[in-house]
Amino acid sequence: MDQAQGLRLIKQDRPAAPGYRTVNGAEPGGSPKPGRNPLVLAISSGKGGVGKTNVVANLGLALARQGKRILVLDADLGLANIDILLGLTPRFTLEHFLAGHKKLQDILLPGPEGLLILPAGSGVPELVDLDETQKICLLNEMDQLSQHIDWLLIDTGAGISTNVLYFNLAAQESIILVTPEPTSITDAYALIKILATRHQKKNFLILINAAAEEGEAKEVFRKISLVADRFLSSVSLDYLGFIPFDKHIPMAVKKQQALLELFPHSPAGKSFTDLSRLLTDRPFRNRNEGNVQFFWKQVWQVSNINVSA
């Protein structure tokens, strides 16, 4: 599949899984209606290399298998990007769109199971500094695109860079990914602390990756919760679950194919499927506030605040 097929793909309604209801309550298979509100979920971590890209790719796939239409914004400027992980080669990125050379639909990269990827390239650092024309174009095209998606997943990258903060502040929900390594735990806490104390973000979903078993995952969560309860008033951390350490993940990475395609019944594969069910059953807060236009407006609004203050 090439990028040109992105447009054609989003023009077709994907077949719905049993029990699937669209976000705005439209009948499955019905034509998309304007004004629907895709859920915007940021996936972040304090420390790099803890598994964000693998989580975004496989969670995206698991959600797509449930009939959800998923757009992934690859906003991580770090090392391994989602296109590499899935063996895809983007010819165009957000940079081409921002330069006015391509429409947003033309840069969408079709992945497995109808997953759509918006490769940011090195366009992301400029997102907060766009001129008015670029902003209006992005808002309009995003709005059209949002009629064809149910969930926008953002791989924000790691740390406390301004991009990570903007995307977390603008998203309706933030998943903070943590592994049992002490450095991952302290860095996750540092990210939560900055978002909470400087930017009044209060709610976080905590997902533990690469845990040996559930007991270890819960212990990691307990550690973060203890410190947060003690030092960060009114912050609410929700335990979302855990993805086990699983050798099938690096095996899939080496083959540049998604774990859920290659090893759907592996321990990690099953937990991605379980996680996607948990998320689709979850009543999200602020569900009606957000749409993708709203999301970008928030990004630009929060970008005016001084994050280094």
Ligand X SMILES: Nc1ncnc2c1ncn2[C@@H]1O[C@H](COP(=O)(O)OP(=O)(O)O)[C@@H](O)[C@H]1O
Q: Which stretch binds ligand X (CB under 6 A): 95-103, 122-130, 139-147, 240-248?
A: 240-248
Q: For residue 275, what are its two tokens? A: 């996680």
Nearer to ligand X, 150 or 187 (CB): 187
The yes or no reply on residue 150 touching Mg ion (CB under 5 A) is no
Q: How far is CA 136 from CA 139, 141, 142, in A?
A: 5, 8, 10
Q: Does residue 38 contact residue 5 with C-beta atoms inside 8 Å?
A: no
- Using the rule CB under 6 A, which residue among 15, 250, 255, 289 binds ligand X? 250
Smallest gap from residue 185 Cβ to Mg ion (A): 19
**Residues from 59 through 78 that contact Mg ion (CB under 5 A):** 76
Residue 267 found at the interface with ligand X (CB under 6 A): no
Task: Report the C-alpha gap between 232 and 75 in whole angstroms.
Answer: 28
Q: What residues contact 106, with CB distance under 8 A and at least 6 apart?
A: 3, 4, 6, 7, 92, 96, 97
> What residues form DSSP beta bridges with 241?
207
Minimum CB distance to Mg ion smaller for 79 or for 136: 79
Closest residue to ligand X in the complex (CB): 51
* String marking each residue 49-68 x if it binds ligand X according to CB under 6 A: xxxxxx--------------
Q: Pick from 36, 246, 280, 291 the residue near ligand X by CB under 6 A.
A: 246
CB of 82 to Mg ion, least distance (A): 7
Interface with Mg ion, residue 303, by CB under 5 A: no
Is position 298 an interface residue for ligand X (rule: CB under 6 A)?
no
Q: From the CB of 170, what's the least distance to ligand X, in Å?
A: 20
Q: Does residue number 83 form part of the binding site for Mg ion (CB under 5 A)?
A: no
Interface residue with ligand X among 20, 239, 245, 300 (CB under 6 A) is 245
Q: What is the DSSP string of 114-171?
A: G-EEEE-TT-GGGGGG--HHHHHHHHHHHHHHHTT-SEEEEEEEESS-HHHHHHHHHS
Q: Do the beta carbons of residue 17 and residue 67 sit within 8 Å?
A: yes
Nearest to 285 by CA among 172, 171, 168, 200: 172
Residue with tokens 């497995």: 112
Whether residue 22 contacts residue 51, with contact meaning beta carbons closer than 8 Å, is answered with no
Please say which residue, 138 or 220, places its beta carbon nearer to ligand X: 220
Q: How far is CA 22 from CA 11, 17, 144, in A?
A: 16, 11, 16
53 lies in the site for Mg ion, by CB under 5 A: yes
Residues facing residue 74 across a β-bridge? 119, 155
Q: How far is the CB of 83 from ligand X (least distance, A)?
A: 12
Q: Report, in Å, the least distance between residue 93 CB and Mg ion.
A: 16
Give the angle subtended at the CA of 148 by the CAs of 145 and 149, to the nearest 5°: 95
Residue number with CB closer to ligand X (105 or 209): 209
Residue where the block lists tokens 């236009």 = 293
- By Cβ distance, which residue is nearest to Mg ion? 53
Nearer to Mg ion, 51 or 112 (CB): 51
Applying CB under 5 A, does 156 fall inside the site for Mg ion? no
* Residue ranges in contact with ligand X by CB under 6 A: 45, 48-54, 78, 80, 209-210, 243, 245-246, 249-250, 253, 268
Rule CB under 5 A: which residues touch Mg ion? 52-53, 76
